[in-house]
Amino acid sequence: MRPLNTPFFYISAIVAAAAALVAVLFSDISWDNFPQMALFIVLIVVASFLIIQDPSGGVVSSTGTLFYVVLYVFNPITALVIVALGYSIGNTLPRSWVTWRTFFNGAQMGLSVFLGGLAYGKLGGNTAAGTIASQLIPAFAGALIHQVANNFFIAFLISKLRNLRFFRTWMNFIRELLWSNLLSVPTAILIAILYVRVHHAFVLMFLLSLPFQRWALRLYLEKRNTYARIVEHLVRAGEMSLPGSGGHAQRVANLASAIGRRLGLAERDVEAVGYAALLHDIGMIGMDDQIISKEAESDPKPLVEAHVRLGAEIVGDLGRTDLAEMVLHHHAPYIRDRASKPEAWVQPSIGARILALSEEVDSRLHGLFPYQDPAPLESIRRRLEEGLRGSDFDPQVVDAFLTMVREREHAPFELGDAEVIPAEG
């Protein structure tokens, strides 16, 4: 990785802040509880080893629940020490050693837990006594603060490293992880209360549920890959009956997903755009002989309109209205610039706008229906920059695409294959 100045100072500042907190509040650390601290450090390390690929992209480790337990059981500075040590060790052992990553991960996670613990205590959270109802608000608030802080630390670094807009990246992280995090709060409350009030052994309950979850997730991921392979194969088979379009759907899907990621869409939405892109020409299978007919060559518009409608209808069978909508609008600019009444136009979703541009680019590039001759990338780019941007296509989608094209000229760029720094979930 290229050494960049802002990230370097940022990482140093985070690590220094964590170190300073430990130094100032050193006397508050409950060293007499050292065996318990060690127990949790070991647990966090073990849980970090059992990383699972997240179904919606990225990585899930089950450490999140443990962080909440630590935050409810120990005082803030003790929690910081436990989590910083556990997380940096657990994150480093199974992967290669990268100095800045080890220190940064430990420090930022420690700080997040510290802030969460502070909020928990200030709101009257008390795991040892207090009724369960009075624990709920502090517990959820503590978890929320922890997540927001953690997302902030990570989003700032990622936005600097990848030239993304910081605020949007941050908000996307929060949105994406919020529900699964809040869902794990009750587990954490339960484990914390049982741990403190009944027996320390209850923390092992957490370890017991881990293999069960991992098994289901692995099964899910295997199945998902199998299903995806089959669908991709069927799409390719469907293209056989249409001249010259072999691989078109897959290319459009790759491009659309890459643009979606670049725009910072949530992973679930990126997946939806990719799936809609894969299926966008499915209406053409039933119209194969009409597409290659003489009439289609002289006036393709009726067929363009018919195949998006038929495609949307067929995709509608999936029971996913979002996918059907994207398929319906994937030729929107093409149909619209000939339509007489622009006010009759319904604003398509962001996914449909991404799909429309991806479709346009690939069809022009390869001279596919409704265009006839392949055009070089340069002329497509000029057209987008001059006329089409804004009038026919969503400017932010066009900009994202043009940026990607520019980057590709500087360095070979694998579409949709960027390294992900694990955001904690």
Partner 1 sequence: MRRELTIQIFYLIAAGLAIGAAFVGQPSLIALRPHWLVVLLLLAGLAFWFEIPIEPYGSLNLSPVVVLVTTSGYGLSSGLLVAALAPMTRLLIRRLIGSPPIAIGRILVTGGEAALALWIGFRMSSLVVSTESQGQLVSLMSLSGVTLAATFMLIAIRVALEESISFRRLLRPLARRVIPHFLAMMAAMPIVWLTYALLGPLGIVLSMVVMVETYYPWKLLGEQRDLFLKSLQMFSNAVDVKDPYTAHHSKRVAQYAVRLARLLGAPEDEVNRIRIGALMHDIGKIAVPGNIIRKPAKLTDDEMALMKRHVGAGASLIEGLEILEDSRDIIQSHHENYDGTGYPAKLAGAEIPLGSRIVFVADAYDALTTDRPYRKGKTRSEAVAILTANAGSQFDPSVVEALKTILGKDY
Q: Which residues form the interface with partner 1 (CB under 8 A)? A: 55, 132-133, 180, 183-184, 186-187, 189-190, 193-194, 197-198, 205, 209, 212-213, 216-217, 219-220, 223-224, 226-227, 229-231, 233-234, 237-238, 240-241, 279, 282-283, 285-290, 310, 314-315, 317-320
Q: Which secondary-structure segment (H or E) carries 59? A: strand 59-60
- Closest separation in Å from C-beta 196 to partner 1: 12
Q: Hey, how many other C-beta atoms are within 10 angstroms of the C-beta on 315? A: 24
Cβ proximity to partner 1: between 12 and 126 the closer is 126
Please confirm whether the linkage preceding 370 is cis (ω < 30° from 0): yes
Q: Which secondary-structure segment (H or E) carries 213? A: helix 204-239
Structure tokens belonging to residue 183:
């869902």
- Closest separation in Å from C-beta 136 to partner 1: 9
- Closest separation in Å from C-beta 377 to partner 1: 31
Cβ proximity to partner 1: between 317 and 419 the closer is 317
Direct distance between the N- and C-terminal alpha carbons of the chain, in angstroms, rounded to an integer: 25
Cβ proximity to partner 1: between 25 and 306 the closer is 306
Cβ proximity to partner 1: between 3 and 319 the closer is 319
Structure tokens belonging to residue 5:
């100045």
- Closest separation in Å from C-beta 132 to partner 1: 5
Q: Which secondary-structure segment (H or E) carries 403? A: helix 395-410
Cβ proximity to partner 1: between 309 and 382 the closer is 309
Residue 270 · residue 172 · CB < 8 Å: no
Structure tokens belonging to residue 395:
């400017």
- Closest separation in Å from C-beta 138 to partner 1: 15
Residue 51 · residue 9 · CB < 8 Å: no
- Closest separation in Å from C-beta 144 to partner 1: 16
Angle 321-328/267-279 helices, nearest 10 degrees?
50
Cβ proximity to partner 1: between 239 and 360 the closer is 239
* Whole-number Å distance between alpha carbons of 56 and 13: 32
